[in-house]
A and B are shown apart, each in its own frame.
Chain A
Amino acid sequence: MGAKVVTITSGKGGVGKTTTTANLGVALARMGKKVTMIDADIGLRNLDVVMGLENRIVYDLVDIVEGRCRLRQAMIKHKQFPELYLIPAAQTRDKTAVSPQDMVNLANQLREEGMDYILIDSPAGIERGFRNAVAPADEVLIVTNPEVSAVRDADRIVGLLEAENKGPGKLIINRIKMDMVRKGEMLSANDVTDILAIKVIGIVPEDESVIPASNSGIPVTLNEGSRAGLAFRNIARRLLGEDVPFMDLDENKGFFQRLSKLFGGA
């Protein structure tokens, strides 16, 4: 019991799964939770890079599964948060080395280690390995961008999750640009949920500080001034069951406009 397993997945690749996993891991650890992140995107490993832990890898997920090391040996402890761990993906090995049952067993072992959260960075849904990542999940977060093709693929994933009895999952809409939404050039959060009809757990704005943060191995959540960072912290609080209102993403809205809205004006 105890630990909650949260799998972060998507239909399309490159929509922000790894970014989300890293930031939720850090945000939960900052709130005093014991967290292990598992990079289940075998072959496309990069959670370790985004976490700044690449040079500390000795053993990986496949080594645990195949019994070449003990679980603790493959858990890399974060520099800043002693209760935040990463189990890296194998870089090169055969993608079929891990089965869904292996992932369930691993999650159970981590539960015995006293974790509060186990976050699994999943491959995109059409790929092999998706079922592994989803097998032990108590909760599934689906990341999408506000683009027609990404939403279409996310819809497919909701269908697959329902088939695996893990559905429907909760949605994270990442990289939204309010100025484009306002001009009608980008899908709004409402447009997205109108199609997917599932619960939204977070809306993350496009933010210039995300990419440099990932490159330097310091997830953007640790940057107090970043709006994406705040959005990720809010998602972490919602995971904990807090009722956090969605932030106002309309940066351009001036003070007076906000006031007049408050007083019921235009």
Chain B
Amino acid sequence: MNKDIVSIKGINDGLLITLSTTEEWQVITTELAARLDEQSGFFAGAKITVDLGERPVPKYELSSLRALLERRGLALLVVQSGSATTLESANALDLRAVALNQPLRNAEGEPSFDPDEDGTLGLMIRRTLRSGRRVHSRGHVVIVGDVNPGAEVVASGDIVVWGKLRGTVHAGAEGDESAVVCALDMSPSQLRIAAHIVTSPKDKRRQVRPEMACVRHNQIVVEAWEA
């Protein structure tokens, strides 16, 4: 048994499986299968969160991981990752993608971006979020597409929607009142920034234009987006 390759532990409502970020994928999946089979039946029905760290996992690998778990009666629900590729794969498979917000650093531990710009890692999604999808990021979230009614985006930072925003969004979810929400067409069913909440009036004659929501004088205001 090798705890460095695969670690399994119980969390609130299921299991957290953490997989090595350096070992070969084939070795990892074999080890995982062996570990689960050892405890055969013990985990059945559990909801699984997989932490893949910084490893970029393509869609087909993630999909075979899901199948491996499914064959053992385990439902893969959440993927935690610091890799954009992995998050994109999780999104494409309709799994809940949780971005681990690692500061951008190169191998020497130096910030790999321009030190004059205090950038933060974010999650970029190039598709429409449909009903039932939930996206969560410790950084910013950029969506190139629509956020449909019934979809939800939660970010510790800002949320930018390059499309129609009609679902629920929560920016500054950890309490940052300076967070903003921008959208080309702003009519969220609910919009939150930090602890403030507003809903959109159902006004059909509303003028469609890019808008930005932010907190001013202790309330959410929406104004024309002129960045």
Contact = CB atoms under 8 A, between A and B. Distances in A.
A212 interface: no
A128 to B, nearest CB: 12
A195 B166 contact: yes
B149 A195 contact: yes
A43 interface: no
B132 to A, nearest CB: 4
A155 B148 contact: yes
B131 A152 contact: yes
Interface stretch (A28-36, A83-91, A156-164, A244-252): A156-164
A35 B131 CA distance: 34
Contact of A159 (B130, B149, B166): B130
B145 to A, nearest CB: 9
A154 to B, nearest CB: 8
Contacts of A44: none
Contacts of A159: 94, 130-133
A152 B92 contact: no
Given A163-B92, A195-B166, A197-B128, A155 B146 contact: no
Contacts, number: 34
Interface string A158-201: 11101100000000000000000000000000000001010000
A153 interface: yes
B150 A155 contact: yes
B130 A158 contact: yes
B11 interface: no
B93 interface: yes
Nearest to B131: A155
B92 A156 contact: no
B92 A155 contact: no
Q: Kindly name the residue among A155, A158, A160, A195 whose own CB sees the greatest number of chain B CB atoms within 10 A.
A: A155
Interface in A91-110: none
B131 A163 contact: no
A155 B148 CA distance: 8
B63 to A, nearest CB: 9
Interface residues of B, number: 14
Interface of B is mostly: loop
Interface string B117-138: 0000000000110111100000
A160 B166 CA distance: 19
A210 to B, nearest CB: 27
A156 B131 contact: yes
Given A152-B131, A155-B131, A159-B131, A195 B94 contact: no
B148 A195 contact: yes
Given A152-B150, A195-B149, A160 B131 contact: no
Interface in B113-172: 127-128, 130-133, 146, 148-150, 166
A151 B94 CA distance: 19
B130 A156 contact: yes
Nearest to A167: B130
Given A153-B131, A195-B166, A163 B150 contact: no
A162 B148 CA distance: 15
Contacts of B130: 155-156, 158-159, 162
Given A163-B93, A163-B94, A197-B128, A156 B146 contact: no
Contacts of B148: 155, 195
A51 B127 CA distance: 40
Given A159-B94, A160-B94, A163-B94, A152 B133 contact: no
Nearest to B145: A197
A171 B188 CA distance: 24
B151 to A, nearest CB: 8
B15 to A, nearest CB: 22
Contacts of A156: 130-132, 150
Contacts of B149: 148, 152, 155, 195
B73 to A, nearest CB: 11
Nearest to B166: A195
What 3 A-B pairs come out closest when comparing CB atoms?
Answer: A159-B130, A163-B94, A155-B131
Interface of B: 92-94, 127-128, 130-133, 146, 148-150, 166
Given A155-B131, A160-B94, 18 more contacts: A148-B149, A152-B149, A153-B131, A155-B132, A155-B148, A155-B150, A156-B131, A156-B150, A158-B130, A159-B94, A159-B131, A159-B133, A162-B94, A162-B127, A163-B92, A163-B93, A163-B94, A197-B146
